[in-house]
Amino acid sequence: MKRDVEALLAIVSEEEARIVDEWLKESRVPEHQRSAAQGEATQVLRELRDALAAGADPAMLEDPRWAGLNHVLEALSSSRAAQGRTAGDTSRFVLAFKRPVLALAQRRHAGDAALLMDTVWVISSLVDQMAQHTVTTYQLTRESVIRRQQEELLELSTPVIKLWDGVLAVPMIGTLDSSRTQMVMESLLEKIVETESALAIVDITGVPTVDTLVAQHLLKTVSAIRLMGADCIISGIRPQIAQTIVHLGIDLEGIMTKASLADALGLALERTGHRIVKAA
């Protein structure tokens, strides 16, 4: 083991209590968070010590022997991301570890300039890598949260509604893309099987524009519905959308269309043998 690594290992092994105390002061942890932060700092310090004792290379945090420390840093970053705290908060907390360790190295090796310089470099390099690892983990965690929220929003924005016996409706709101169309088709086809419905109304009143791609997605949805033995009505065909469809040369022949959801429901009831009359 190199002299600088031995020096760092000696510091973190023999000065745990002092390092943790100075670390919390440097990071300015609020009093109500001090207990949790103290536990996090102690755990990080012990995993770092164990990895150094096992011969892990301080210049390579990818070394398998750093797995324990990486796991603790990831847990620390993920928990703070879930609390809504920024990547900078986590990074600053980890970087605050540097000052107390550097101060102890200076105190111990002031008479050996070469060893002190090497030890300072090892400490700085290692702590910087630790801070960068927490930032990367934070970003991955936030991306995961955002993806999950997007999926939940998609599910909420494409509900399958039972309007009448044998009649389903899917109100489309926003832009249609491939992933959303796939989700709509899956939900609608499952509901058709579950309710044994004969008609499905796809309402595009909330779709701002219809282009060739949107029309292709609609046609795919209609085809899938027909393959299940049901029929489809597209409602919400506004004058502007009708003109766009004509200009694009999109063929909707054979597909029932209506200007409004109310008109589509009236047609669906008629097709299923129902009639609505006013009470006397």
pLDDT in tens, 164-209: 888 999 888 777 777 777 777 888 888 999 999 999 999 988 888 7
**Is pTM, for the whole model, over 0.85?**
no
* pLDDT attached to residue 117: 92
233 has pLDDT over 90: yes
The domains found in the chain, sorted by start residue, are: 3-153 (1.10.490), 161-271 (3.30.750.24)
pLDDT averaged over every residue in the chain: 85
* pLDDT attached to residue 179: 72
Q: How confident is the model at residue 143 (pLDDT cuts 50, 70, 90)?
A: confident
* pLDDT attached to residue 46: 93
> How far, CA to CA in Å, does 255 sit from each of 58, 146, 190, 191, 200?
67, 37, 21, 21, 12
Give the start-end residues of each E strand in the chain.
Answer: 161-164, 167-173, 199-206, 231-235, 256-258
* pLDDT attached to residue 81: 74
Cross-strand partners of 200: 168, 232
* pLDDT attached to residue 100: 92
Distance between CA 62 and CA 49 in Å, rounded?
16
Q: For 35-80, write each residue's pLDDT tens digit.
A: 888 888 999 999 999 999 999 888 888 889 999 999 998 888 877 7
Distance between CA 91 and CA 137 in Å, rounded?
11
Q: How confident is the model at residue 235 (pLDDT cuts 50, 70, 90)?
A: very high
83 has pLDDT over 90: no
